[in-house]
Structure 1
Amino acid sequence: MRLRLVVSLSVLAFLLSAQLSLAQSWEAHQLEGSASWIDNHNRIAGSAYSFETGTVRAVVWNSDGVIIANLGDGCADFISDSGLVAGVSNSRAVVWDLNGGRTEYDPIDGFTMSRANYVTSSGLVIGVSSYDDLSSVRVYTIWQPDGTAMTVGDLTGDPSFLLWGITDSGVLYGSTKGYNVNQYDTWTSETGFVSHDIPGWVLAISACGNVCGFFPGFRQLVGVDPTELLLPDGAVSAIGYGISDSGYVAGRVDDKAAVWDRDGLVHLLGDGTARKVNNQGTVIGNIQLGAEYNYQGKTVVWVMVPEPSSIIIVLCGFGSVGLLRRKRT
């Protein structure tokens, strides 16, 4: 009996992994605002415009498009799994928590504005210092948890370093050679700069260090050689705009929003662009509405759902386990 039960459970595990992964689909929910980031709890950070007050508010939605946190005037650029939200309010870099806490970070000396783009679980804040929103002069800035600010150039010793992102453990990703194709650099205080060869340009870095990009569209998981993003029959190009620690990639195939699953299979989501994706495969991005809406763009969250056929197969799998057990007794 034990052997048959073990075998049946193995079959069931296969059904769960294979059938559910092969029969994936996504359900779209529209957001009233602009989404910037999604964490692994399906919380979405962004900004919403208030027609009553004429102001922009930093907000957090759930995956149904319901606002679960109104953080006040400003824009939210990022939300961490621990619930820290990075952004800008009243020309200052801000980190909010979901309980109403708020910390401001001043720009480095000589600048008048600051903005936070990312915050690690240890409280390290990454952003920019500038003269105004339209200024072309922006300096990559790192704030320590105590608020001490320094430029990325001062930290790394290379003022020309272009910062593209940071992992949750504090590894800096960017380029020491400008917008150079086929290579990127990482930096830590222990290793200094380390160069990495890739097939294209990096557009996104996940918290653990996975990267994706384009020219051609590609994905590189930590410790694995980069691979090109698969294209459906007849498609011409792919771009990866966002990548999760689990390996999902959000992007575009020609003019269609697309997501590549952990096995590298591509799924088209409709007209538009997929921007970010989390470990569960939940995607945020934009769609283009038709002529009746004056071709406006809308922010959308796509939530992955199993196909009904997959659910039936899995239920049959559970039933077969029970039958095997009853037959043995």
Structure 2
Amino acid sequence: VDGSVEYITPLIDHGGGTLFAHAKIVAEELGVPLSKVKIVPSDTHMTGYDVCTHASRGVYVGGEAARRAAAKVKKKLLEYAARILDVPNPEALRIEPDEELSQGVIYVEGAPEKRITVGEVARIAWQKNWGSIAELVSYRATNCPPTFTAYFVEVEVDTETGVVRPVKVVAGADVGTPINPDLVAGQLHGGFVMGWSMAILEDVVHDPKTGELMNKGFITDYKIPTATDIPPVDDFIVILAKTREPTGPFGAKGIGEAATNPVAAAVANAIYNAIGIRFYELPITPEKILKALKERRG
């Protein structure tokens, strides 16, 4: 028995790394190596229903549910281990990851030689018919702490073509204590691209007479950014505030939508600083910029 942990959740990871963050939460709470946490793909035949991954709740709500489930499993593990090790009080036991054994090890605090692996506890509990080491948790958050983000954007505006190019970006965020700082940075990168696209490119055009959607050709006439339209990674700086959200899993808050929300306003302000013209409608296209420059000259 290798001491692996199966984690089953109805939450979907749509690219933000939500389930990897959940795996880290489960590993941290249980005291097992991250490599031992196996994420089972969502299947409503096996899990309860969830309202879906949205509203920046994947880590804050879903992650807290994962932590609570892991805490209940940990309690049961320690109770079984106390029986096996003949320890009167399970609270005297600790679980820590053992990288050499590649699984969690349960030991008596102050007497680490008195120990047993998580896998052995599971095997003995199964042989003695003590019951499965599994828990189900449903969690409904009663708090909704805001995530704060700010973007500083430097742009270049070609006054002959109206093309706007991002030069450098600094993104600051308060996400509490991040479960995975690299994933938070990735979310900020992606959020900037979405916000930049909203500010400069994306538009839904309808025929004013018929209401028919005019730019319905994906890629051909509905433009989105490519890799050449965004700043290089070295010119994208991420700063994370050092805070802790007491109601979140290990102090974490969400980051999803907050990574996009301020971008368009920051871009519009940067364009104003570059050419001295305010724009109040999105997207700020080259055509609009050239028209505004011509009217100012005119």
TM-score range, shorter chain: under 0.3
Kindly indicate which of the two structures has a greater share of residues assigned to helix: 2
Report 1 or 2 for greater relative contact order, CA contacts < 8 Å, sequence distance ≥ 6: 2
What TM-score comes out, normalization by structure 1 length?
A: 0.22
TM-score after normalising by structure 2: 0.23
Q: Which has the larger radius of gyration?
A: 2
